[in-house]
């Protein structure tokens, strides 16, 4: 196992590492450095978990971004979470919303539900109950551990839009589902 060390450099003293860093398998790291998105996510996960050391969210964000830039949905969701929480990056709800949107458009139900909530409160995006309802409808249509929560949130947001707006959203949802089969998309 290759150990990546967090160096504490004091200019004149040139001290050795102050703490042991996150451990990453060298073969995995080589694949990640070669551009394999799945390996990049695994490396990012190792940094985020710490694997027995203090988590390094800055490195996790770097690796998640590399994979997310290649279209890896899971990496995009993790990167959005880091922006939402301000871990390893400056807290930026607009960036979080943008990454959730990319994952939501790829069919990730968790990202769809989160994006719906962001629209419902106007966090990182403009407040828009119609958009909130749309994303919550998509999220609520996927069986999973949060489906009931998405249904309740959708109903709550639905109280703030007209029946004509709800009908228009239902048409958008049907069109989205026709264009994006969910045979193996899970939360």
pLDDT above 50 for 136: yes
Q: Could you tell me how many residues make up the chain?
A: 187
- For residue 101, tell me if it sits in a domain: no
Indicate if 32 and 74 belong to the same structural domain.
yes
- d(C-alpha 36, C-alpha 66), whole Å: 9
> Tell me, what's the pLDDT at 106?
93
Place of tokens 């390893």: 88
Indicate if 149 and 119 belong to the same structural domain.
yes
Q: Using pLDDT thresholds of 50, 70 and 90, give the confidence band for residue 20.
A: low
Q: Using pLDDT thresholds of 50, 70 and 90, give the confidence band for residue 181.
A: confident
> Tell me, what's the pLDDT at 3?
34
- d(C-alpha 96, C-alpha 118), whole Å: 10
Percent of the residues in the chain that have a pLDDT greater than 90, as a whole number: 80
**Domain termination residue (choose one: 68, 91, 114):** 91
What pLDDT, in 10s, does the model give residues 76-113? 999 999 999 999 999 999 999 999 999 999 999 999 99
pLDDT above 50 for 19: no
**Domain termination residue (choose one: 91, 116, 138):** 91
Rounded to whole angstroms, the maximal C-alpha distance in the chain is 71
Q: Using pLDDT thresholds of 50, 70 and 90, give the confidence band for residue 141.
A: very high
> Tell me, what's the pLDDT at 114?
97
Mean of all residue pLDDT scores within the chain: 88
Look up residue 111 and give its two tokens: 């990202």
Indicate if 7 and 52 belong to the same structural domain.
yes
Total number of domains in the chain: 2
What are the backbone angles phi and psi of residue 57, rounded to the nearest 5°? -70, -25
**Domain termination residue (choose one: 37, 66, 91):** 91
Look up residue 83 and give its two tokens: 């922006």
Mean pLDDT of 62-66: 97
Question: The domain containing residue 2 runs over which residues?
Answer: 1-91
What pLDDT, in 10s, does the model give residues 21-63? 888 899 999 999 999 999 999 999 999 999 888 999 999 999 9
Place of tokens 């073969």: 27
Higher pLDDT, 124 or 7: 124
DSSP string, 50-68: -TTS---HHHHHHHHHHHH
Torsion angle of alpha carbons 145, 149, 155, 158, nearest 10°? -100
Look up residue 140 and give its two tokens: 């609520």
pLDDT above 50 for 16: no
Indicate if 59 and 145 belong to the same structural domain.
no
- For residue 98, tell me if it sits in a domain: no
Element (H, E) at 23: strand 23-24
- For residue 123, tell me if it sits in a domain: yes
pLDDT above 60 for 183: no
Indicate if 77 and 52 belong to the same structural domain.
yes
């Amino acid at each position: 196992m290759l150990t990546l060390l967090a160096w504490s450099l004091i200019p004149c003293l040139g001290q050795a590492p102050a703490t042991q860093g996150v451990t990453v398998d060298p073969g995995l790291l080589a694949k990640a450095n070669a551009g394999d998105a799945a390996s990049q996510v695994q490396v990012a996960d190792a940094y985020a978990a710490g694997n027995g050391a203090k988590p390094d969210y800055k490195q996790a964000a770097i690796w998640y971004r590399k994979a997310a830039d290649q279209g890896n949905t899971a990496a995009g969701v993790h990167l959005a979470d880091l922006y939402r929480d301000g871990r390893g990056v400056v807290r930026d709800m607009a960036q979080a919303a943008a990454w959730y949107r990319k994952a939501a458009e790829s069919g990730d139900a968790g990202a769809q539900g989160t994006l719906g909530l962001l629209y419902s409160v106007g966090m990182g995006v403009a407040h828009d109950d119609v958009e909130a309802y749309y994303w919550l409808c998509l999220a609520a249509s996927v069986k999973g551990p949060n489906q009931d929560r998405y249904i309740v949130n959708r109903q709550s947001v639905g109280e703030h839009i007209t029946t004509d707006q709800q009908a228009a959203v239902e048409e958008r949802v049907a069109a989205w589902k026709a264009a994006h089969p969910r045979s193996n998309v899970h939360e």
